[in-house]
Amino acid sequence: MPERAQVVKHGDVTQRVGVEVIRARGVDVDKLIKILIANAAAEFASTYYYYTILRMHLAGYEDYKEICEDARLEDRAHWELIVPRIYELGGELPNDLKAFHDQAGCVAAKLPDPPTVVNILTVLLESERCAIRSWSAVCDMTFGKDPRTYDMAARILNEEVEHEAWFIELLAHERDGKTIPSGHFRRGEPGHAPYSKNAQFYNP
């Protein structure tokens, strides 16, 4: 139990019980907010924005474009999950877009030079791997202490792991002539996000 001095007072709107209880369980809330802002920047500014550009340059590979579009829109869904949690914890997004972008937890997935299909798929793959590492760290930090953030992070992590498998399959086929199945299935619609949106899987 937290000490009485730490208990949120009756009617107090300056403090949050949702923060008090996870802090009492050992969560470094300030550190968690900082990580969530970095991950939000990666999902939106560094991933969704650049995945848009990368998808546009997969000309002639409509199947690859469709899979990139799924990952792009699901990363936008991740952004929508993260932002409310930042504010619930008492944090806020930077008011300056450049400052926000510069806090991203992953390197921006810029269009490679030359923008070949193999180079683009490699950028996509490594971007997903960074996301897996980032969200695994959040899961480790919140497991058994902050169920709300853990649930959010686990949902996002499930989709990032799928995205990595998709791009491994495509890159292995395109670059190495190998078949490394990902278990990829067509989403019900682009950006379906079955984990982060709690939507049903496509199962004809």
Residues of the chain falling short of pLDDT 70: 1-6, 185-186, 198-204
pLDDT in tens, 68-125: 999 999 999 999 999 999 999 999 999 999 999 999 999 999 999 999 999 999 999 9
Residue 139 phi/psi, 5-degree rounding, is: -60, -45
- Asked if the structure places residue 6 within a domain, the reply is no
Predicted confidence at residue 203, as pLDDT, reads 44
- Asked if the structure places residue 88 within a domain, the reply is yes
> Which residue range(s) make up the domain with 46?
17-176
Q: How many domains, in total, are found in the chain? A: 1
Q: What is the CATH number of the domain that holds 121?
A: 1.20.1260.10
Distances (CA, A) of 174 to 62, 67, 70, 170, 171: 14, 14, 19, 6, 5
